[in-house]
Structure 1
């Protein structure tokens, strides 16, 4: 029995790649750091691996094993959290405090924290000054738009929802219906979740006369206030301001269509602009903040942490993990990884040469609002919003019915979250 148990533990150690060479019984002196990240594109992963290799050359006694689980990331992390066996370093991908906080080491004593962009404080720092993760970059989401088309039709980038609706109608009219005013990749429900999440902030948070922070956080929010966003989306669909295949279109179609001047606006950012430029340099893609909803309010960036490195507080290699973070926080390395992802760096002393640099500079006075679901909604609501958008577009549910469904799921998921918290306590 003891032999079987030893074999089982040995096999388990091989599966859970957080085990070091020392733990595996190999007798090696080299320490192994295991890193898990949500970085998605091949080019971005290549830059990260290159930096990890450079770190290993500086620290020959430390081996860095990098893993990119892709779509399996969250499920893998849930299993590891339940087992209390997290990787030495891991990506909090927007949930540094809420989901992963109890597993992360406090990084506030590290020198780079003095240069942390204040826009990230609410996501990565708590009231006591504890810092939960190092930001490899930061998201600033808004509307990606075809600058070439807007200039051709004499349309100014919209700053309000009314301006946005007017711009969509003008594009449809002036292009004779050959350009899709607002394009969705609805086959992936996250496309609709992104719409709801981005516009929820200007609808429910940023305007003083329409601010529902307390109600959202204490569970008393009336979801009839949310119906506006579904009404607008349905209005766009009825006026043929969206792509006809909004529910079935795939993200892989976006770059080619934008390069053919067939799309005016979309929610997709990231490397879209440079990807389009590689296919058709004559098409210029820009990005603008999310338009304001209420009169007198201002546009906002929606963002926060994108890719991060958090250190597992119980890692036997915590000091080595912090060494790796310090290495990644060097200005030249922070610049390298941020530019690879076409996003601003998370440190104020790092200036990046990225595709949307001029747009971010032009709108540098615009405030950044944290992702709505991360602060105000229980875990699981992102998927609910995505499915709701698909059901709305497919005429399965009306805007009022969408709000009713969101309200029910909001309460259910809050109770589920509370019950789990009670069990843990």
Structure 2
């Protein structure tokens, strides 16, 4: 009897397995990005994916939002050649991820890639490897109410000397000229990333761009960047709690600070503290008076396809769906940024005119992505903090930067 019961059990189990195997299984596509789960861009992307999945009979797309260790996770996946089917390239589609990505020049939507972002995502062979859903445009956020009180016209700030004069005027009315939120080290790293191009790259006398790209680090020129940060600290132009502060948006919105070295998203956040505040952003200044001031452009939300994905065909089909004008518009609007494709339009609200920049400015890529080896960002943050705290002299900070530059360039 036991044998009969066991035999029947195996038959039922086998029949169940046979039935399960007879059901067509959907292919699972994984897409990830560096955006955290609650960021507007992640929410918008999930909504697009949900709509896509409704109409798919053989594919299911799963979105895995990023976390604080996204870069380290991606480096591990590159080392083991086990990348997601689609992933966010967060500014590194060329210099870090290119060899893992499928070229996208032959996609129908490629003709619409915005000229404002195309040079940044294109390699020397005129190929690009990521779908730019929006364009990260970086300028210096400011509070106009504070600047007017200090008798500073933000549009008149063209050079680094103009900037320092403006900071002194702001300090004289009892307002913190620049708020650094060192608890998030990005604002300290951003001083380097944003100001260095105007000091040593866009400079006719001794430009360092080609040297850096060719692995040559000029310590004398780099000292100039550290001296600029030291001046901000010594002159009292930054908040006293620059290394521990964590209230940048509130400081800008409530008029406790005039400028931030954070992205323009801080302006939107600042409005939550003071809806009546007048805030905007300006181009970054150059040392060379003959050079135009500049904005930094780069990838914000950009997605590529792993070239060795077992589901590459389906991944490219989803990317094409994501590139539809209505979806690009949705993603760009979520970040309140211009769209990465010219056949889409984002809703910028009160910032519509702010992003209508024209050709009176220069446009450059993010300094660390363009000119420094991968992994240099952490060094920029640490040496900047060292100068501000007084733990590093300008020369010591330069020496540390050179050591890491030489080490990382050979990786």
- Tell me if TM exceeds 0.5: yes
User: Following TM superposition, where does structure 1 have runs of at least 4 consecutive aligned residues deviating by more than 6 angstroms?
Assistant: none
Matched, 1:244 2:240: yes
**Counterpart position of 1:54:** 51
**Counterpart position of 1:307:** 301
Residues 178-208 of structure 1: CA distance to partner in whole angstroms, max 9, x if unpaired? x210111112322211110111112222233
**Counterpart position of 1:388:** 383
Q: After TM superposition, give the deviation of residue 210 of structure 1 in Å.
A: 2.8
Runs of 5+ consecutive residues of structure 1 not aligned to the other structure: 1-23, 418-425
Q: After TM superposition, give the deviation of residue 122 of structure 1 in Å.
A: 3.0
**Counterpart position of 2:231:** 235
Matched, 1:213 2:209: yes
Matched, 1:161 2:155: no
Matched, 1:256 2:253: no
**SS state at 2:304 partner:** strand
1:202–1:29 Cα change, 3 Å:
same
- 353, 367, 372: which one pairs with 1:372? 367
1:183–1:263: 8 Å Cα contact kept in structure 2? yes
**Counterpart position of 1:399:** 394
1:133–1:25 Cα change, 3 Å:
farther
2:292–2:360: 8 Å Cα contact kept in structure 1? no
Distance 1:140 1:377 in 2: 20
Runs of 5+ consecutive residues of structure 2 not aligned to the other structure: 1-19
**Counterpart position of 1:273:** 267
Distance 1:185 1:114 in 2: 40
1:287–1:356: 8 Å Cα contact kept in structure 2? no
Number of equivalent positions: 388
**Counterpart position of 2:197:** 201
1:137–1:307: 8 Å Cα contact kept in structure 2? yes
2:102–2:305: 8 Å Cα contact kept in structure 1? yes
Question: Which structure has the bigger radius of gyration?
Answer: 2
Distance 2:232 2:257 in 1: 15
Q: CA RMSD in A?
A: 1.9
- 85, 91, 97: which one pairs with 2:82? 85
TM superposition score normalised by structure 2: 0.90
Q: After TM superposition, give the deviation of residue 162 of structure 1 in Å.
A: 0.8
Matched, 1:222 2:218: yes
Q: After TM superposition, give the deviation of residue 364 of structure 1 in Å.
A: 5.3
Q: Write out aligned runs for 1:7-406 (5 A).
A: 28-40=24-36, 41-157=38-154, 158-173=157-172, 175=173, 177=174, 179-250=175-246, 253-354=247-348, 355-362=350-357, 365-406=360-401
TM superposition score normalised by structure 1: 0.87
Q: After TM superposition, give the deviation of residue 120 of structure 1 in Å.
A: 2.2
1:183–1:243: 8 Å Cα contact kept in structure 2? yes
Distance 2:342 2:360 in 1: 15
Distance 1:381 1:208 in 2: 25
